[in-house]
Amino acid sequence: MDKLSEPDKRAFSDLPEIRYVKGIGPKRAEIFKTLGVHSVRDLLYFFPRRYEDRSRFTSIASAPPGEPVTCRGEILEVRFRPIRRMPLVEVLFGDASGTLRAVFFNQPYLKKTFEAGQHVIFHGKVENYEGRLQITNPEFEIVEEGDEDSAHVGRIVPVYPLTEGLFQRSLRVVLKDAVEIHLLRAVTDPLPPSLRSELDLVPLDRAVQNMHFPASFEDLAAARKRIVFDEFFDFFLRLMIRMKKLRTRLKAPRITAGPERFGEFRSTLPFPLTSSQEKALADIARDLATEIPMNRLLQGDVGSGKTVVAVFAFFLAAKAGYQSAFLIPTEILAEQHFRTISRFLAPLNVRVELLTKSVDADHRGRITADLKRGDLPVLVGTHAVLQEDVAFSNLGLVAIDEQHKFGVHQRNHLLKRTPRPHQLVMTATPIPRTLGLTVYADLDISVMRDMPAGRKPVKTYWITRAKQPEVFRHVAERLAKGEQAYIVFPLIEESEKADLLAAKKEFDRLKKSVFPGFKIGLVHGKLDRPERESIMRAFGRGEIRVLVATSVIEVGVDQPNATVMIIENAERFGLAQLHQLRGRIGRGEIESECFLFGEPSTEEGKKRLRLLTKLTDGFLIAEEDLKLRGQGDLLGTRQSGVPLFRVADLLTDEAMLILARDRARTIVDALDLDALKNPGHWIHKYLGERNVSLPHSS
Ligand code: ADP
Ligand code: MG
């Protein structure tokens, strides 16, 4: 933590250690630590998971089935049924309007918790079970004497996330006391009042108090708004300060280009550029012309034509006398890119070479020698480019395809030199806007939303298994016309062995009885690389006509002649993954078709497949995907790099995110970095308050 000014230090030292806080003690203090609560301030920021309006209860008679309700009543009867596999505790309770059964499965100890005559609050969904209304495994709280004017009843009540050893009621009391005793000293609002009133934000102490014990839902909304703003603002402030420091410290080569360069480039292309491509070209030319290192993301769906945009950047760099490196995650893709890029660069008189670990020693020797002498302007390659003896003489630009396939270390390897090369990263993984605003917050983004003209969207069908023979006949007809097909099987890790067996068996069947007239190949993750690549190449040459694959088909494999895809057990793939897979087809002149076989057991699963038959825009799909899965899922392991916001929700708080980002930007743009050395500066206090050190430049 940064040094605090003297008065602050005194204020903080007045606060007790967490174990001396009223109601906590050494045992609970340890539990709190596992939840990340180390100080009184952390405790005050330990916010409820939800709220219950206990100023009014739903009467039992009017509780609508299927919706969460909070009822209050008196226990009339407690019954225990020791069914062996699923012991049941049944609690019959009633209010003035009627009675309701609460049913608890697998919690036999509850029979000792409840007693007839107790007053109790239940929260849960009322269901109709065999004609009777009941509430299953509800959250409950037994009302005690004196509760009426307490933290627990007669108000909007906080419900905290629990863990072993922490109980709702005691937690509520601890927080109520902590807010009363410590709030004013633990929380000082670092935000200037002028900014607060301009953005209509409540003072921090009031916000924190109302996050726990709001008098009304309006107060709660205002409190939440302030906390959400703080979370986003804090994130962007740190990030932008760090970026500003980097930008003033690092200098990149100035690569300028007049309009004639654009004309020269366009005149060599076999097609007109899309407007997204034109815009991306302009973005890049503008970035390269300044000494601030470019850090741009080219984000576009599969087939949107990102490669040619990167080629333009290589061309500008080469004409200005600088070298470019293009990093590509796999060998097959690197070869493919190399072929395309050579075609684009040849008429522009810019030489390009390919470096992978398969390049023989002689050729490799020539490449590295030319690079070192500055005789080779563009190098395309895999991780092989990152080896120590590959030395550039004046590297000005680094482009990276599917940048998430490279580690941070690998990505930075080529950048750490003076002057610092410009960077262009490319991704075909569309992510929803709000996520992009945080995950890619340190990048400038060129979005490629429109597709090259004439591209026909893939027709997608969701088919039941019974129709399979019909689909296979149809596919065979297309194969007979010279086209090619993919058949994809999902492999899920836990059951991979069984799945692989199933895929192999189906492969044999397809080969012998379904497509006997056509050459058919199988690729899966258990094949070693050379074998897999030789099959992929045979498919690329059109020798193999049907490729049976687990999801290992490389992102970016470009085989315009492949026009049909069948996806088996499609319900086992995620929406985004299905879209990526489907992107392997629809790359040529002929209209492509995708057949999804799948029998999802959930409504959500059905929705996914239905969406895919309707949508082809990867960005829309990503947004729908996020809505279906919710942000909780994103914060898991799946999407790394998603910053954690505890209260803010990327799905619903977009407006706040943008407000906070724009505010942070205005402030940091105008900020004199030297001012940060002054601990009295409100930004310093703002970031310091959060108990995390100020960002240091990397
Ligand atoms: P991706 O964005 O998936 O990397 P590519 O750069 O591989 O897309 O482009 C896909 C195909 O579209 C390539 O064959 C490319 O030559 C072609 N292409 C790119 N831009 C255009 C355009 N403006 N008009 C027509 N075809 C284009
Ligand atoms: Mg590509």
Angstrom distance (rounded) from CA 334 to CA 401 = 10
Q: Please name the residue whose Cα sits nearest to atom 19 of ligand 1.
A: 305
Decide whether any atom of ligand 1 lies within 6 Å of the 446 Cβ: no
What is the CA angle 349-355-359, rounded to 5?
120
- Cβ neighbors of 389 (< 8 A, separation 6 or more) are 368
Could you tell me where the beta strands, DSSP code E, fall in 96-238? 98-105, 119-129, 132-136, 139-143, 156-159
Q: Label residue 6 by pLDDT band (50, 70, 90).
A: very low
Average pLDDT over residues 369-383: 96
- Residue 519: half-sphere exposure toward Cβ, Cα within 13 Å: 11
Question: Across-strand partners of 445?
Answer: 297
Q: Please name the residue whose Cα sits nearest to atom 25 of ligand 1.
A: 452
Q: Which atom in ligand 1 lies closest to the alpha carbon of residue 271?
A: 24
Decide whether any atom of ligand 1 lies within 6 Å of the 558 Cβ: yes
Peptide bond just before 419 cis, omega within 30 deg: yes
Angstrom distance (rounded) from CA 242 to CA 30 = 35
Q: Label residue 459 by pLDDT band (50, 70, 90).
A: very high
Q: Which atom in ligand 1 lies closest to the alpha carbon of residue 558?
A: 7
Per DSSP, 3 falls in state: P
pTM of the model as a whole: 0.74
Helix/strand/coil percent split, the chain, to 5 = 45, 20, 35
Angstrom distance (rounded) from CA 102 to CA 583 = 50
Decide whether any atom of ligand 1 lies within 6 Å of the 583 Cβ: no
Q: Say how many Å lie between the CA of residue 301 and the centre of ligand 2.
A: 9
pLDDT of residue 236: 92
Average pLDDT over residues 497-511: 84
Q: Is the pLDDT of residue 393 over 70?
A: yes
pLDDT of residue 148: 61
Q: Label residue 1 by pLDDT band (50, 70, 90).
A: very low
Whole-number average pLDDT of the chain: 87
**Least confident among 164-178, 314-328, 439-453, 545-559:** 545-559
pLDDT of residue 638: 42
Decide whether any atom of ligand 1 lies within 6 Å of the 271 Cβ: yes
pLDDT of residue 639: 45
pLDDT of residue 557: 67
Return the ligand number nearest the Cα of 401: 2
Q: Is the pLDDT of residue 333 over 90?
A: no
Q: Say how many Å lie between the CA of residue 385 and the centre of ligand 1.
A: 25
Q: Tell me, what amino acid is at 409?
A: H
pLDDT digits (tens, 9 = 90+) for 46-81: 999 999 888 888 999 999 888 888 898 999 999 998
Q: Which residue has the higher pLDDT, 506 or 76?
A: 76
Q: Which residue has the higher pLDDT, 481 or 410?
A: 481
Average pLDDT over residues 434-459: 85
Q: Is the pLDDT of residue 13 over 60?
A: no
Average pLDDT over residues 607-615: 92
Angstrom distance (rounded) from CA 502 to CA 523 = 14
pLDDT of residue 282: 97
Number of H helices, E strands in the chain: 23, 21
Q: Tell me, what amino acid is at 227?
A: I
Q: Which atom in ligand 1 lies closest to the alpha carbon of residue 401?
A: 4
Angstrom distance (rounded) from CA 402 to CA 681 = 41
Average pLDDT over residues 505-534: 88
Ligand 1: residue of 271, 309, 344, 456 to mutate (most ligand atoms within 8 A of CB) is: 271
Average pLDDT over residues 619-641: 65
pLDDT digits (tens, 9 = 90+) for 559-573: 889 999 999 989 888
pLDDT of residue 632: 55
Average pLDDT over residues 374-389: 94
Q: Say how many Å lie between the CA of residue 540 and the centre of ligand 2.
A: 16
Whether the Cβ atoms of residue 560 and residue 587 lie closer than 8 Å to each other: yes
Decide whether any atom of ligand 1 lies within 6 Å of the 428 Cβ: yes
pLDDT of residue 190: 86
What is the CA angle 208-653-636, rounded to 5?
90
Q: Give the highest mean pLDDT range of 375-384, 441-450, 523-532.
A: 375-384
Q: Please name the residue whose Cα sits nearest to atom 18 of ligand 1.
A: 305
Q: Tell me, what amino acid is at 404?
A: H
Q: Which residue has the higher pLDDT, 368 or 131?
A: 368
Question: pLDDT exceeding 90 applies to what percent of the chain?
Answer: 49
pLDDT of residue 583: 87
Average pLDDT over residues 302-308: 90
User: Which protein residues have their CB within 5 A of the ion that is ligand 2?
Assistant: 556
